[in-house]
């Protein structure tokens, strides 16, 4: 196994199993469900299939954890005041708005 | 289209008499009420504009235009939402108009940043022996700056959806209306934007880069 590009019979078997066994979905199909899963929009049956895939697929489990962390990091970064313009609004901007309103 | 969105903003929560008095004063033409409105709201409006436009000067222009727009329309503001919610929509809309006018909403390809699958539709994902915590990643200012610059690398048509949904916390339907695209398109773009950002942030998420 190198850099996650696992090859050989085990990976081939996994692919066949996900593709052909009942109540299984491929990783590509899993990918298309992620947003609906996170927004709690999946019907119960699809949710169960999604959860089962998560249990048996290390790659998708890792991927989803990193995806969730990405969203958290994005939100948290923008909570930082440095991500915004400085708190002090230039007085001339305020005056310009008020002057333009009068015209 | 955006007009209807502004009028149907979420129901007002905790409307207060002070806000009603402020709006009534502005509608009546009071200069002091107008100044109070500007001073109360211009700071966060400027921050919203800056997050979307990534330029101080453009953000200032945007906020000025948004406030003038708000003054013109405040007489027809139906007060079904908080004043701040209404001003937020106006600011976002003004920023989007600016981006469109500058033709910065370009359609760059995002495919190189998308997840990979093999011929059997199995995901190709290197093992994650370690996933850094959110706190660990954002605790340092230099790293937060790096995250901001990575978000800035996303193609605008994806970055804007990510910003409006995840940062400005607008609903899918609102984003669809503001951008004049379908809700399913918003969802596709949001998912791709997050996936692409995950790829861009991987060294940080793995605790490898500082």
CATH of the domain at B27: 1.10.1740.10
Mark which of B66, B101, B136 sits at the end of a domain: B101
Domain range spanning residue A69? Answer: 9-102
Nearest to B70 by CA among A84, A90, A97: A97
Over chain B (210 residues), what is each successive 10-residue block's mean pLDDT? Answer: 49 71 94 95 93 91 96 92 92 93 73 93 94 93 90 91 95 93 96 97 87
- Chain A interface includes B145 (CB < 8 A): yes
Instruction: Select from B101, B133, B161 the last residue of a domain.
Output: B101
Structure tokens at A38: 């996170």
Residue B16, domain extent: 2-101
C-beta of residue B123 within 8 angstroms of C-beta of residue A60: yes
CB of B96 within 8 A of CB of B69? no
Please count the structural domains in chain A: 1
pLDDT of residue B126: 93
Residue B210 belongs to a domain: no
CA dist B200 and B158 (Å) reads 14
Contact A94 B201 (CB under 8 A): no
Prediction ipTM score: 0.83
Claim to verify: residue B68 and residue B138 sit in the same structural domain: no
Contact B38 A65 (CB under 8 A): no
pLDDT exceeding 70 applies to what percent of chain A?
85
Say what the pLDDT of residue B7 is.
47
CA–CA min distance B2, chain A (Å): 22
Q: What is the pLDDT of residue B84?
A: 92
Do residues B165 and B53 touch, judged by C-beta distance below 8 A?
Answer: no
């Amino acid at each position: 196994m190198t850099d996650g590009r696992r090859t050989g019979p085990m990976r081939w078997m996994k692919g066949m199993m996900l593709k052909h066994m009942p109540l299984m979905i491929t990783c590509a199909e899993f990918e298309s469900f992620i947003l609906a899963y996170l927004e709690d929009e999946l019907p119960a049956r699809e949710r169960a299939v999604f959860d089962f895939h998560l249990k048996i697929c290390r790659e998708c489990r890792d991927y989803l954890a990193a995806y969730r962390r990405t969203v958290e990091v994005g939100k948290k970064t923008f909570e930082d005041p440095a991500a915004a313009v400085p708190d002090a609004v230039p007085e001339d901007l305020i005056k310009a708005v008020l002057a333009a309103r009068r015209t | 289209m955006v007009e209807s969105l502004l009028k149907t903003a979420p129901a007002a929560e905790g409307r207060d008499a002070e806000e009603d008095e402020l709006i009534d004063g502005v509608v009546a033409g009071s200069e002091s009420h107008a100044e109070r409105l500007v001073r109360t709201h211009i700071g966060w409006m400027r921050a919203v504009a800056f997050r979307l436009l990534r330029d101080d000067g453009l953000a200032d222009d945007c906020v000025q235009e948004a406030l003038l727009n708000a003054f013109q329309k405040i007489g027809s503001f139906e007060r079904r939402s908080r004043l701040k919610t209404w001003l937020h929509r106006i600011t976002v809309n003004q920023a989007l108009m600016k981006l469109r006018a500058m033709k910065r909403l370009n359609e760059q390809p995002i495919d190189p940043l998308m997840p990979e699958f093999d011929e059997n539709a199995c995901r190709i994902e290197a093992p994650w022996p370690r996933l850094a915590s959110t706190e660990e990643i954002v605790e340092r200012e230099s790293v937060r700056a790096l995250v901001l610059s990575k978000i800035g690398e996303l193609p605008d048509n994806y970055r804007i959806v990510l910003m409006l949904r995840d940062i400005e916390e607008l609903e899918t339907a609102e984003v669809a209306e503001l951008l004049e695209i379908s809700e399913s398109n918003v969802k596709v773009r949001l998912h791709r934007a997050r996936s692409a950002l995950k790829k861009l942030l991987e060294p940080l998420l793995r605790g490898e880069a500082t």
